[in-house]
């Protein structure tokens, strides 16, 4: 990673500044800001889903702080495709300024517009397609078709007087895509001939050797699993994975089954995809969930959300017997997705729960029911050799992915000093074909917790983890501040620590002694006395029980 350096200088004339606000060192909340001539262009604004050490958090947003005071300078937000980790933060950004234009393909804009409707925001949008160019202030934009696990994904070439930047978004190079839409390597080659000064490449599979398997290789496996299933089939996938839903519809139709979509986002997104022609529904196959209960168990396939083990998603609720569809013996559950790093424990918890209920669980670990939507090392090398970029800034991935991607660039001939391994907040300036790090901003997490945005801090999450893991002890005492005499207490109560509060009988005399000593030393301040109680209980509980619970002393004047 880059060394910490000073605040970036004022942007010199004729220089393009690149500022990633998310997506570096993590899989999610992808967002990059480009600045030239006093104007800003944003590419993507996604969310990150919380880890187990972030209890109670719903979503994590990019940190908008560096641009919050410059929103009037934003000319537009280019959305490369419709996945949540690229569009999910748009509603929160538009809350700050609703008229920022959104630029993307037809499906991408349809998905974000449906989401914005729930936030009561009517966006300004511009629909673009591969091969199209747009002028946006000092930015010239050219859109290039790329293949991904959702239709209509686009890379974007951004040209200013400082040079040309190519941002891939998420992509792979499936040579036999289900929708026939290839990653446009001819456009890549043409851009390479003109000269790519900075290449921002998807890093998610950079440490995976070879090539990502073909999407169409999944269809026969799904057909075989569905054909051999004795009872109901439940397929869990991302709610925007149009290609996977298409394969499930086709497999169900081939074996005389109906399909019911479950989950609000799944129903909404597939309705949009069908309306726009991206999803082809065989006649009579798709039915409402309510009608599915009237069918025989071997006549139905449920297509649901929850493939990442999300606690409130459909599949997790099924595993916990909290859903109308009760999983039973000989049901078949297919997890048609890969694991997002950090979600492994949640997913395996759901798999174990479903297995305990008697279901056969088919997942990527035991059957070929999913392929990635991201380019592996072989595909990235092809891109580097075609483009011959002068500078490389790997994006979209954890540190290991970024490092692997940078090494591929170096292996293909990019000078090592021109392969920049950055982090969120790293400021990169491009001028005269040279990209260099000029600053590092302090970029944090912005947590969405219920209706609050940005109000939960890391300190709050630490308190939640302590409460969950170590328990809670409260101590109540009444002290005469004139004499220092203890009028009442101390009384201790605990939660999540010990079954019987009698365990604290041993520490009560220690608290009394500490308060009396403090009083003898002239301490009368209630806050200071509270800290005496906290330290006394903390030392005792750590020494005697090897625990570090949350300790809340309440000392009042008597």
Query: For the domain 16-210+372-442, what is the CATH code?
Result: 3.60.15.10
Phi and psi at 204, nearest 5°, equal -55, -35
SS3 of the chain: helix, strand, coil, percent, to 5 = 35, 25, 45
pLDDT of residue 260: 93
DSSP label of 351: H
Comparing CA positions, the residue from 13, 16, 31, 43 lying closest to residue 160 is 16
**Domain segments of the chain: what residues?**
16-210+372-442, 215-362, 458-557
Q: Give the H/E segment covering residue 347.
A: helix 344-356
CATH number for the 458-557 domain, one of 3.90.1150.10, 3.40.50.300, 3.40.50.970, 3.10.20.580? 3.10.20.580
Instruction: Give yes or no on whether 16-210+372-442 and 215-362 have one common fold.
Output: no
Query: Distance between CA 166 and CA 158 in Å, rounded?
Result: 6
Contact 201, 395 (CB under 8 A): yes
**Contact present, 88 and 96 (Cβ < 8 Å):** no
Cβ atoms of 386 and 185 within 8 Å: the answer is yes
Dist CA 170 CA 165 (whole Å): 16
Domain 215-362 part of CATH 3.90.226.10: no
> pLDDT tens digits, the chain, 558 residues: what are they?
545 556 899 999 999 999 999 999 998 899 999 999 999 999 999 998 766 666 566 678 899 999 999 999 999 999 999 999 999 999 999 999 999 999 999 999 999 999 999 889 999 999 999 999 999 999 999 999 999 989 999 999 999 999 999 999 999 999 999 889 999 999 999 999 999 999 999 999 999 999 999 988 888 989 999 999 999 999 988 888 899 999 999 999 999 999 999 888 889 999 999 999 999 999 999 999 888 888 998 999 999 886 564 655 778 888 888 888 888 899 999 888 766 666 667 778 888 888 888 889 888 777 777 888 899 999 999 999 999 999 999 999 999 999 999 999 999 999 999 999 999 999 999 999 999 999 999 888 887 776 666 566 666 666 656 665 667 778 888 877 777 677 787 877 777 766 566 777 778 888 878 877 777 777 767 777 888 888 888 788 878 777 777 778 888 876
Q: What's the rounded Cα separation, in Å, for the pair 246 and 260?
A: 13
d(CA 334, CA 474): 47
Q: Is 185 in contact with 155 (CB distance < 8 Å)? A: no
CA angle 59, 64, 65 (to 5 degrees): 125
Q: Distance (Å, rounded) from C-alpha 30 to C-alpha 211?
A: 24
């Amino acid at each position: 990673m880059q060394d910490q350096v000073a605040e970036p200088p004022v942007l010199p004339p004729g220089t393009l500044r690149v500022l990633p606000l998310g997506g570096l060192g993590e899989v999610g909340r992808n967002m990059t800001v480009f600045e030239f001539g006093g104007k800003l262009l944003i590419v993507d604004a996604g969310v990150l889903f919380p880890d187990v050490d972030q209890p109670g958090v719903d979503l994590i947003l990019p940190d908008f702080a560096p641009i919050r005071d410059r929103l009037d300078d934003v000319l537009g937000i280019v959305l490369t495709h419709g996945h949540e980790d690229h569009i999910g933060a748009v509603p929160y950004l538009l809350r700050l300024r609703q008229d920022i234009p959104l630029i993307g393909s037809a499906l991408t804009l349809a998905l974000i517009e449906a989401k914005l409707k729930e936030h009561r925001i009517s966006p300004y949008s511009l629909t673009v397609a591969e091969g199209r160019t747009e002028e946006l202030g000092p930015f010239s934009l050219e859109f290039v078709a790329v293949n991904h696990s959702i239709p209509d994904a686009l890379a974007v070439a951004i040209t200013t007087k400082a040079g040309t930047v190519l941002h891939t978004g998420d992509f792979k190079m499936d040579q036999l895509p289900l929708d026939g839409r290839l990653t446009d390597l001819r456009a890549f080659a043409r851009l390479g001939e003109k000269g790519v000064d900075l290449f921002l490449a998807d890093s998610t599979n950079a440490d995976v050797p070879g090539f990502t398997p073909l999407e169409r290789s999944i269809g026969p496996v799904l057909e075989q699993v569905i054909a051999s299933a004795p009872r109901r089939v439940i397929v869990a996938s991302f709610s925007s994975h149009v290609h996977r839903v298409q394969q499930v519809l086709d497999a169900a139709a081939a074996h005389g089954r109906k399909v019911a979509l479950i989950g609000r986002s799944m129903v909404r997104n597939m309705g949009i995809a069908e309306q726009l022609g991206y999803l082809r529904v065989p006649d009579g196959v798709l039915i409402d969930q309510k009608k599915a209960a009237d069918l025989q168990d071997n006549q139905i396939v449920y297509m649901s959300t929850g493939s990442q083990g999300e606690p409130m998603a459909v599949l997790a609720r099924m595993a916990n017997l909290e859903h109308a569809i009760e999983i039973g013996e000989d049901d078949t559950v297919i997890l048609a997705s890969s694991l997002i790093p950090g979600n492994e424990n949640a997913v395996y918890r759901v798999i174990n729960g479903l297995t305990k209920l008697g279901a056969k669980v088919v997942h990527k670990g035991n059957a070929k029911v999913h392929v990635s939507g991201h380019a592996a090392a072989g595909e990235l090398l092809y891109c580097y050799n075609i483009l011959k970029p002068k500078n490389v800034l790997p994006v979209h991935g954890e540190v290991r992915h970024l490092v692997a991607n940078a090494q591929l660039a170096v292996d293909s001939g990019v000078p090592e000093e021109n392969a920049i391994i950055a982090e969120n907040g790293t400021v990169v300036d491009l001028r005269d074909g040279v990209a260099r790090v000029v600053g590092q901003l302090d970029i944090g997490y912005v947590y969405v917790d219920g209706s609050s945005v940005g109000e939960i801090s890391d300190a709050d999450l630490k308190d939640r983890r302590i409460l969950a893991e170590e328990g809670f002890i409260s101590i109540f005492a009444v002290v005469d501040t004139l004499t220092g005499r203890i009028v009442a207490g101390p009384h201790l109560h605990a939660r999540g620590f010990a079954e019987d509060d009698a365990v604290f009988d041993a520490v009560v005399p220690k608290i009394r002694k500490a308060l009396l000593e403090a009083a003898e030393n002239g301490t009368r301040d209630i806050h200071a006395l509270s800290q005496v109680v906290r330290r006394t209980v903390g030392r005792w509980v750590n020494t005697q029980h090897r625990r570090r619970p949350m300790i809340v002393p309440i000392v009042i004047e008597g």
